[in-house]
Structure 1
Amino acid sequence: MTTAAMTAKMREGRGFIAALDQSGGSTPKALRQYGIAETAWSDEAGMFDLMHAMRARIMTSPAFTGEKVIGAILFEQTMDRTVDGTPTARFLWEKRGVVPFLKIDKGLEAEADGVQLMKPIAGLDALLARAVAAGIFGTKERSVINAANARGIEAAVAQQFALGRQVIAAGLMPILEPEVTISIPDKAAAESLLRDAILAELDRLPADQQVMLKLSLPSVDNFYLPLVDHPRVLRVVALSGGHARDAANAILARNRGVIASFSRALTEGLNAQQSDAEFNAMLGQAIEGIWAASVAG
């Protein structure tokens, strides 16, 4: 796998990133939405087997190719498994032309100063080394902003960039994700503080380093253009954040240079009981809509 080819695909690719990285806490809900009840498994291993089967079904679908899906974010267990007999990251890049990323955060701390910082990531250096060996291109790390609190937002952004520098040092591309909760009353004010804090950190990065950013869809269209256009930013992607797919697509289409990195909005409507033809048609429809919104700007 060539990092240069993956970097070029991320910089120039017309498409979006599929977020297939539900972890232990969010997996039961994702499986319920897929039509699999919690009675279908007896332990965590069985739950993750079912989740991997769902992800593999998505990744092997004829609709899931690098023509419109330029990247995919994986859960650690997904990286460690195979798809059609090929290690997952290699399958994505070699068989589908999709750039593989790895979710590395281990959940959130309790809220303080209006934000939830990331918990410490034990064994991070070893995990990053495993990711490089597996053919992973980059990482994703999420924290959450629940209020327009300058102290909290600055702390969240500082933590994201500190982790990002560690990821870069390991030879990987970090996707920094300080998510603003879309339902908070002061969302626009929080986004203003967030943009300023990110710009300050970007300006401190060395000229030969870049990061990617994963942000909530903004309250004001094109609010994140200064980040899209910043030379230290490879790509800005957006999470759906709880919006239904059509609503998320409509907002995304109005934001120049921002592409999707949707999770629940991507799998909306998929069901374990669907025939392959029905499943592939539904997934194809979802991919088409998210792709169109991603390239609209």
Structure 2
Amino acid sequence: MSTRFAQYLDPVKEAELADIAKRLTAPGKGILAADESVSTCGKRLQDINVENSEENRRKYRELLFSAEPDLNEHVSGVILFDETTKQSDSSGNTFISVLEKKGIIPGIKVDKGVVPLAGSLNECTTTGLDGLKERCEEYKAMGIHFAKWRCVLKISKFTPSYQAMIENANVLARYASICQQAGLVPIVEPEVLPDGEHDLETSRRVTEEVLAFQYKALADHHIFLEGTLLKPNMVTPGMQSSTPATPEQCAVATVQALSRTVPPAVAGVVFLSGGQSEEDATVHLNAINNVPLRRPWALTFSFGRALQASVLAAWQGKDENIQDAQNELLKRAKANGEASLGKYKGDQGGAAGNKSLFVKDHAY
């Protein structure tokens, strides 16, 4: 639909995008982020003394996607890496079809990773816009229905800068526009890293500022908000902070930051775990869903490390451990599904439960 101002999506495509976003944020469900690159997946496998080969990566992804009996009870979608979209399980079924048969929506990471932002103080932006339209159209034809793009901002004495905030907001908005034109729901991920000594108040203030830039850019690019998801950091003190905060304090700060910047039209907020331990990420998500403040969006999870750490610890690359590893995944998915409803009781500890998953300057 054209106006003198812009080319907007047609009503049919808007309805499709809104439906996908709604299904991804169905009550009690969230997203499994299994989009680690070859090198990042290799680091995970190296930690359990497993060779980083394509076959081992395929076997690990099959372990995740074939978890029975009820992975789809708490997992609505899975974010894949490009390599995984072309792989199949041991019976020859593509992973995309395996997920579809479970009623789980396949997604894809489409960015090409973070790179230095020229002229900045050790800040970065994200590449991958070249050829994105064609890649999104190809993924849609394969049966993929949503995408993810991650930008990274850092808190220090002088950052994030105006340059970094406006650049990353515009990159995410351009990506979102291309995705929606191709029929993919974009997950918009402006991550404020937890690295640093900053306190909770600083984290909240910076997160608010980053999100304000982000939604101005999305408006400028005429993004259909009902067909988008936001993947932000939870608001917490820096990992090296000397002033810790309780989960309840972090939850209030998180919801305040969202309520001051994120339009109610946005379909849902799917938090990243940001290097928290599995248990901490779940406890924080649960606290967020119990904050006595207005919360017009679904507030759920899009976890990678916080859903997989116990899986890897249980698996150890051994076939005889596959069922135990899958049980760990189902346990963590159930815990986070309950937390997305504010009903987690702290009774789903895993093999890696309280182990810190923090990685300095996390990239993939």
Instruction: Give the TM-score, by structure 1 length.
Output: 0.87
- Cα deviation digits, residues 62-88 of structure 1 (max 9, x gap): 055221101110001111122342222
Picking from 62, 66, 71, the partner of 1:65 is 71
Distance in 2 between residues matched to 1:158 and 1:207, nearest whole Å: 12
1:234 aligns with 2:267: yes
CA 1:31/1:291 → structure 2, altered by over 3 Å: closer, same or farther? same
Shift of the 279–105 alpha-carbon distance from structure 1 to 2, 3 Å rule, reads same
Are 2:66 and 1:49 aligned?
no
In the alignment, the residues of structure 1 paired with residue 16 and residue 102 of structure 2 have an alpha-carbon distance, to the nearest angstrom, of: 16
Partner of 1:92: 99
d(CA) in 2 for partners of 1:113 and 1:89? 41
Q: CA RMSD in A?
A: 2.4
SS of the equivalent of 2:231 reads strand
- Other structure's SS at 1:109 match: strand
- 1:176-255 alignment, distance < 5 Å: 176-184=188-196, 185=198, 186-204=202-220, 206=222, 208-209=224-225, 210-219=227-236, 220-222=253-255, 223-226=257-260, 230-231=264-265, 233-255=266-288
Q: Name the structure with the higher strand share.
A: 1
Structure with greater Cα Rg: 2
Specify which of 264, 267, 271 is matched with residue 305 of structure 2.
Answer: 264
Once residues 7 and 166 of structure 1 are traced to their aligned partners in structure 2, the CA distance between those partners, rounded to angstroms, is 16
- Specify the code of the residue in structure 1 equivalent to 2:106: P
The one of 37, 42, 46 equivalent to 1:28 is: 42
Match of 2:86 in 1: 80
The number of equivalent residue pairs is 286
TM-score (norm 2): 0.72
For 2:258 and 2:69, the matched residues in 1 are separated by 30
Shift of 1:226: 4.8
1:191 to 1:25, Cα distance in 2 relative to 1, 3 A: same
Deviations 1:73-113 (A, max 9, x none): 000111112234222222212x2111111001111111435
Contact 2:186–2:228, Cα closer than 8 Å, also in 1: yes
- Name the residue aligned to 2:107: 101
The share of aligned pairs that are identical, in percent, is 21
> What is the alpha-carbon distance in structure 2 between the residues aligned to residue 57 and residue 120 of structure 1?
29
Letter in 2 for 1:263: G
Unaligned runs of 5+ in 2: 1-14, 237-252, 290-297, 344-364
Partners in 1 of 2:62 and 2:80 — Cα distance?
11
2:334 paired residue number: 288
Distance 2:283 2:58 in 1: 30
CA distance in 2, matches of 1:204, 1:110: 25
In the alignment, structure 1 residue 14 sits paired with structure 2 residue 28: yes
Does structure 2 retain, via aligned residues, the 8 Å contact 1:73–1:102?
yes
Structure 2 CA distance, aligned partners of 1:99 and 1:27? 22
Closer, same or farther: CA 123–195 of 1 in aligned 2, 3 Å: closer
1:124-155 Cα deviation digits (max 9, x unpaired): 22211210111101110111101332331121
Cα distance change, pair 11–247 in 1 and its aligned pair in 2 (3 A): closer
Could you say if the C-alpha distance between residues 225 and 52 of structure 1 is closer, same or farther in structure 2, counting changes exceeding 3 Å? Answer: farther
Range with bigger deviation, 52-61 or 254-263:
254-263
State the distance in 2 between where 1:12 and 1:120 align: 30
Question: Which stretches in structure 1 are left out of the alignment for 5+ residues?
Answer: 42-46
Deviates more, 1:187-196 or 1:69-78: 187-196
Mapped contact 1:173–1:212 kept (Cα < 8 A): yes
Q: In structure 1, how many angstroms separate the alpha carbons of the residues matched to 2:57 and 2:262?
A: 33
1:32 and 1:22 map into 2 onto residues whose CA distance is 14
Rounded Cα–Cα distance in structure 1 between residues aligned with 2:55 and 2:322: 19
Pairing partner for 1:157 from 153, 157, 169: 169
- Letter matched to residue 139 of structure 1: A
Does residue 137 (structure 1) correspond to residue 170 (structure 2)? The answer is no
Query: Using the alignment, how far apart are the partners of 1:60 and 1:207 within structure 2?
Result: 35
Please list, as runs of the form range in 1=range in 2, the aligned pairs for 1:102-121 lying within 5 A after superposition.
Answer: 102-111=108-117, 112=120, 115-121=123-129
* Secondary structure of the corresponding residue to residue 72 of structure 1: strand
Which position in structure 1 is the counterpart of 2:349? Answer: none
Contact 1:61–1:280 (CA<8 Å) still a contact in 2?
yes
Q: Does structure 2 conserve the Cα–Cα contact (< 8 Å) formed by 1:253 and 1:293?
A: yes
